[in-house]
Amino acid sequence: MDLYFMGTNAGVPSLERNVTSLALRLFDERRSFWLFDCGEATQHQILRSPLKLSKLEFIFITHLHGDHLFGLPGLLSSRAYQGGDTPLVLFGPPGVKRFVNTVLELSESRINYKLEIVEHEGGSLFEDASFRVESAKLDHRIDSYGYRIVEKSQPGKLNQELLAKHGISPGPLYGQLKRGESIRTSDGTILRPEDVLGEPKRGRIVTILGDTRPCPAEHPLADRADVLVHEATFMHDLAETAYTYHHSTARQAAEVAKQSECKSLYLTHFSSRYKYEHQLQQLLSEAREVFPDSYLAQEHELYPVLRGE
């Protein structure tokens, strides 16, 4: 599981940074990736990345501002030309279906794969045997949502030495134990999963928030997350400006990470006024005064999501 940023600027792109887009790469877990927001030129950024649109499984849109959305029609249209024929599910706020359908209809674009568009207003969005995705509304000028991706805990390691003593070799019975089912040995002994499995591997939690002022809804989404991705549009000397435009400062992002007991914080969505690296480093320094495990999101770099204790 890795994060891969393809856009970290707020509002408008610059020569160095594109507008918002972030991939959660799940190649080991699902042989796919999930996309969070799709600002203009996201498909160009994907061409420069280790990602392939044919492996795109889900898209999550945080809100309908253009710097988070305007790359969506082109990407959806291009996916088929890059081998994407598997179903694709798009989650987003009310209105995203009308936006996509209108653009595709007026441009007479044809999509030869199944596209499902799920409009939501928060709550539980997706769950299978491996992952759960939850959402909640934040505090922005228009409805903006955060997403909490929870990897379910995995069974611990089987005690193969103990199983061998009971005459159990690798095979279907191993699978039953890992699924939480008891088995009966050839001599009639009942082996329960807890008898032969080590401690479960804790699943990882990734929280990706849309544009927002500081608000109570952030904390349940970010609670003990291994990674929190939070906007840091301004430095704290512009806290009033941030409040007026429904954004957050780097310090406020760090406060959320600290209060929610996150493991790490990635800052993104930087105002275009911060053009130079030394200005961005000031944002980082401001955050690290509150939460030392803060990092600036850099485009076209992989950030592994490590398993916490």
Q: How many residues does the chain have?
A: 309
Q: 9 pairs with which residues across the strands?
A: 19, 270
The three-class DSSP label of residue 208 is: strand
Q: Alpha-carbon distance 205 to 192, whole Å? A: 29
Q: Are 34 and 82 in contact (CB under 8 A)?
A: no
> For residue 77, with 0-12 CB atoms within 10 Å meaning exposed, 13-18 middle and 19 or more buried, which class applies?
middle
Query: Could you tell me which residues are annotated as the binding site?
Result: 63, 65, 67-68, 140, 211, 269
Which among 205, 204, 178 is positioned nearest to 193, based on CA atoms?
178
Structure tokens that stand for 248 in this block:
């957050």
Q: Provide the 8-state DSSP code for 181.
A: -
Is there a catalytic annotation at residue 85? Answer: no
Q: Alpha-carbon distance 34 to 22, whole Å? A: 8
Q: Alpha-carbon distance 185 to 71, whole Å? A: 57
Query: Could you tell me which residues are annotated as the binding site for Zn(2+)?
Result: 63, 65, 67-68, 140, 211, 269
Structure tokens that stand for 9 in this block:
């600027």
Please tell me which residue in 2, 67, 223, 237 is annotated as part of the active site: 67
Which among 273, 270, 272, 271 is positioned nearest to 298, based on CA atoms?
270
Please count the other Cβ atoms lying within 10 Å of the Cβ belonging to residue 53.
Answer: 20
Rg from Cα positions in the chain: 22
Catalytic residue numbers read: 67
